[in-house]
Amino acid sequence: MTGILLSVMLAYPLTILLMGILLCLIYFLVAKARYLIYLSIAFGGMSLGIGLQIAHTPDNVSLNVTLSGICFLVFSYFVTQGIVTLEGRKLNQSLCFSILIVSFIIRCTSSLMPSTDLADFMRVFSVYTVLLVFLVLALWHVRHLVFGDILEKIWVFVLVLWFMSLAWRLAYLSYSPEMLRILFLENKNPFYEHFYRLQHIFYLLILSFSVLTLLLAIKRLIRDVNRKSFFDILTGAYNRLGLQHFIEFDLPKLSKFSLIMLDIDFFKEVNSQYGHPIGDAVIKRIVVLIQESMVVNEEKVIRLGGEEFMVILPELDKDRLRKKAEKLRYDIENYDFSEIAVGLNITVSMGIGEYATTQDFQDIYTEIDQKLSYAKTNGRNQVVSCLSS
């Protein structure tokens, strides 16, 4: 039985290492998301640390303890950094490095001490406590995932379970000198079978957490890549693909919505007179002005192409829509564009309307485009809400 468990345990570090390599390849070949490289380093550190412990390489106990301890400290920091970055949060780096330095000093000091129960406990305590502290930090930053999808809930559950198992092991080893002695036996004195079982559970939890973290990281990467494809590179506004996604997935959730279609007046002349870099700067500034002027929850600003934009405003009545559109027109007309180019003045023309989501969007698009064309052919720098105005 012991031989079987040993063989299974030897497969853990290799499996975790392969996951680390996979994350590293994804980082270089797909997207340079920082959490991928953080988790890759973490998995590599854990794999090496487990491998050193199981294989008892090097044979010198003090050196083995020091090297494996460094690996586990690397894992503790980088897995937490990866988890927190995965969720768009930040760690207190000063606190993290202070914890790591203190733990490393304790670990190295204990490895140089004579082999006693106290020295063995210091070795275990220095690493387990750091890992527990970092897991608490990670749990605090991802606590909202308890209410997430099934993968996120399972991931948090396994993370909590792993934290509890670590706390239990630390408490058990603290009150069991015999178990400490078993833990630090050299390779020529095999582990007792019951400790193999304990290690088996511990490594199984690590492996389960690593697999779930890999899946969650890939899921986040797919989400991030998809989101980037929905946005215009120049302005950060949604592009036509983002508009299509809104029409298919978000629009059906609304009962009605308001629409603004906007075009920069005489924009070709701006490009001809000032150059395309100035034109690009104007387009970027227009998007900022739209976002600052709207201030409506969940509004969508879409760059349809060139100098043409669309703004989708959920459930805004006609009067408020007209006021917001006029305010936006006024803000753009009176904005000081001289910061971009001396003597530059910009105005916009708009078509606006309120629509039910039951209407075909292609028909809506045709109508709002006609309103915009009417505004452009009848003086520009105006807001048109109906073709008869």
Query: 183-211: buried (b, 16+ CB within 10 Å) or exposed (e) per residue?
Result: bbeeeeeebeeebbebbbebbebbbbbbe
| Spans of the chain, pLDDT less than 70 | 1-10, 61-62, 115-118, 120, 172-199, 295-298, 387-389
Query: 343-360: buried (b, 16+ CB within 10 Å) or exposed (e) per residue?
Result: ebebebbbbbbbbebeee
Domain boundaries, the chain: 2-229, 240-384
pTM of the model: 0.64
At 349, which helix (H) or strand (E)? strand 348-356
Indicate the fold that domain 2-229 takes in CATH.
Answer: Rhopdopsin 7-helix transmembrane proteins (1.20.1070)
Q: What is the DSSP letter of 149?
A: -
- Residues 248-303 pLDDT 10s: 888 888 888 889 999 999 999 999 999 999 999 999 999 999 988 876 666 789 99
- Residues 85-111 pLDDT 10s: 988 888 888 888 898 888 888 877 777
Say how many CA atoms lie within 13 Å of 232 toward its Cβ.
Answer: 23
Name every residue whose Cβ is closer than 8 Å to that of residue 321 and which is 6 or more positions away in sequence.
258, 260, 313, 352, 354, 385
Specify the CATH architecture of the domain 240-384: 2-Layer Sandwich (3.30)
Phi and psi torsions of 213, nearest 5°: -65, -40
